[in-house]
Amino acid sequence: MTFVTENEPKKKERRFYKARDTPNFALCILFGFQQVMVCVSALLTIPFLLASFLCAGEDEYKLRAELIASTFVSSGISTIIQTMFGFRLALLQGTAFAYIPSIESYMKLRENKCNFGANSTVDSSLYYGHLSTIQGALILSSLVPIFIGMTGIVGKLTKLIGPITVSPLILLLVISSVNMTVTRIAQHWVSIIQVATLVATTLYLAETRVPIPGWKNGKFHWFHVTLFGQYPYLIAIMISWLFCVFLTITNLIPEGSAARVDKPTSIEVIQNSAWVAVPYPGKFGFPQFNLGLFCAFLLSAMTSVFESVGDYHAAARVSQERSPPSHAINRGIMSEGLGSFISGWLGPGVGMTTHTENIGVIGVTKVASRWTMCVAGLMLICLGLFTKVGAILSTLPEPIVGGVLGTSMAMVGGVAIANLHQVDLSLSRNMGIIGFSVMVGLVVPEYFRRFPVDTGVDLVNQVLQILLTLQMFVGAMTACILDNTVGGATREQRGLQSRGKIHEVALEDDVYSYPKPIMKLLSKLPYIEYIPFLPKEKRVKANKVTSSAQENGDFAVTIIQNDGNE
């Protein structure tokens, strides 16, 4: 046998897989699995939080496993819809944290206050009833993003909502997660292991090439792979979880410790859960309606919409594609609304949105292939159907969940800051609006938590109390009003794209369009140019732009970008 060592230069650039590229089958599986493991941490966080909010007592682990299964299935379906038919870049769809403050505010209302302990026996109709109400509000609120994407309204809204509004909104979302993060991290120091490992793999070891044995052309090879750079989250999650298993097996931590993975209730859930179960509409009861929660969910849905528009541009940048046209943004928002609608019926209780941390993974691993994300979606569906897997994942210790939540929100906070790179921060006008809106978003909700709204009408009190205690709503509304009423800055200084930016591209070569056979079919539809979410040919006058495209009946077109719109 001949042994050959491949001595690759340390500074050799890793291949960048763009959206249309298809890695080989093994790489698709590995890259897809890593995206799953990255999103699993975030997907687990919401069922953990929701199960604790719903006051299930000793049934909390059972409810948690059910929510995990339905969350995985909803996320997998939504990811495939978004990647293949929606925005058409590699975007993983998962539970939106923006809905959690709304649910938390709703569950803190006097009539919903939990009076049971962790070991109490609670009638399932109580916590399933709360979950049905949450589902009903989600189903109805999800129709809003579907509508604004279908009609193209989102393109109009993005002209009013720029980075000066979006960045405070996202920052306040991060700030709102601090208490939940600290509560979980404080339970045990093991969360530090997860955070430290992630920092080491993403910052210090990302470009370190690790020798991996392999077989090529009938010969044994050593392949030098940037293992830590390509699989940082997978490595961090597995190391921290295995460390908890080690502590449990060796009894280095006492019985009942938050870091143990063998809690009696969680073991019982694993033993009693079915091997295969299919989430279905009505499993937790028929959806109910609550006006206050519905209004709060409308805000959460719009928060996700504006955050996602920023994510779309971020995804285009890290995927090395042109800025997204309006039809792609419209389809993306429609797809997220459809994902939230599916989520409302199947049971996760919160809407679907683009996971920012998975976009960050693309930037680190240089894998933007949409096929790897489709593989990730299929894996998520399989994980949700095999409920034993969801039950095992529910044993992830709470301190690690806190570490995962903290690192995920750290990346989201980084995106909030990055969104300001086009804003002229030398202007006192911009600095003042950003700082003032963040402060108002912190002060006003805290005031109304201490002094609840009292108008004399219970329904009005409920709606206002939920809205005015949401940091995202108060801060984003303040920033939006000020940014659009205070003068002294041009569109470019406010971080908005200049109007009339021209792109010359053949439609069948556009990554945001559908394959050529589908585009030919769509071109035959009457009035297609009036459908905001479909890619279409747009002609411009010769005196406005010189186009090399020939009008020969093909799909060669000139596209004009206008604030992200064609």
Amino acid at 133: T
Would you say residue 556 has pLDDT above 60?
no
pLDDT at 193: 84
pLDDT bucket at 340, cuts 50 / 70 / 90: very high
pLDDT at 546: 42
For residue 279, which of 71, 54, 48, 124 has the smallest C-alpha distance? Answer: 71
Would you say residue 481 has pLDDT above 70?
yes
Region of 445 on the Ramachandran plot (φ > 0 left; ψ -120 to 50 alpha; else beta): alpha
- Residue predicted with more confidence, 277 or 437: 437
DSSP conformation letters of 78-95: HHHHHHHTSS-S---EEE
Q: Please report the sign of the dihedral spanned by the C-alpha atoms of residue 498, residue 413, residue 166, residue 336.
A: positive
pLDDT at 81: 93
pLDDT bucket at 120, cuts 50 / 70 / 90: low
- Six token digits for residue 170: 């996202």
Would you say residue 386 has pLDDT above 50?
yes
pLDDT bucket at 547, cuts 50 / 70 / 90: very low
User: pLDDT tens-digit profile of 126-140?
Assistant: 778 888 888 999 999
What predicted TM-score, i.e. pTM, was given to this entire model?
Answer: 0.71
For residue 167, which of 324, 307, 352 has the smallest C-alpha distance? Answer: 307
Task: Give the span between the Cα atoms of 411 and 426, in whole angstroms.
Answer: 25
Would you say residue 351 has pLDDT above 80?
yes
Task: Give the span between the Cα atoms of 75 and 372, in whole angstroms.
Answer: 15
Choose from 7-21, 296-310, 550-564 the range with maximum mean pLDDT. 296-310
Task: Give the span between the Cα atoms of 457 and 459, in whole angstroms.
Answer: 6
- Residue predicted with more confidence, 117 or 389: 389
pLDDT bucket at 358, cuts 50 / 70 / 90: confident
Would you say residue 450 has pLDDT above 70?
yes
Compute the mean pLDDT over every residue in the chain, rounded to the nearest whole number: 78
Would you say residue 401 has pLDDT above 80?
no
pLDDT at 334: 93
Would you say residue 437 has pLDDT above 80?
yes
pLDDT at 471: 83
pLDDT at 552: 39
Give alpha helix (H) positions in 177-226. Answer: 178-185, 191-199
Residues in CB range of 395: below 8 A, 6 or more apart: 261, 262, 263, 266, 270
- Up-side HSE of residue 85: CA atoms within 13 Å toward CB? 10
With both helix axes pointing from N to C terminus, report the angle between 143-151 and 291-318 in degrees, rounded to the nearest 10.
50
In angstroms, the first-to-last Cα distance of the chain is: 59
Is residue 190 classed as helix, strand or coil in its secondary structure? coil
Q: What is the mean pLDDT of residues 401-419?
A: 74
pLDDT at 543: 44
pLDDT bucket at 549, cuts 50 / 70 / 90: very low
pLDDT at 19: 79
Residue 175: Cβ within 10 Å count: 17
Which of 82-86, 194-198, 437-441, 547-551 bottoms out in mean pLDDT, i.e. has the lowest?
547-551
User: pLDDT tens-digit profile of 26-47?
Assistant: 888 888 887 887 677 667 778 8
Q: What is the CA radius of gyration of the chain?
A: 24
pLDDT at 516: 81
Would you say residue 542 has pLDDT above 60?
no
Would you say residue 281 has pLDDT above 50?
yes
Choose from 183-197, 214-228, 299-313 the range with maximum mean pLDDT. 183-197
- Inter-residue contact 417 to 167 (CB < 8 Å): yes
Q: Chain centroid to CA 430: how far?
A: 28
Would you say residue 490 has pLDDT above 70?
yes
Would you say residue 463 has pLDDT above 90?
no
Q: What is the mean pLDDT of residues 96-102?
A: 80
Residues in CB range of 236: below 8 A, 6 or more apart: 194, 197, 198, 201, 407
Q: What is the mean pLDDT of residues 297-315?
A: 78
pLDDT at 39: 74
For residue 47, which of 69, 74, 80 has the smallest C-alpha distance? Answer: 69
User: pLDDT tens-digit profile of 209-246?
Assistant: 888 777 766 777 777 777 776 667 677 778 888 888 88
pLDDT at 389: 75
- Inter-residue contact 506 to 549 (CB < 8 Å): yes
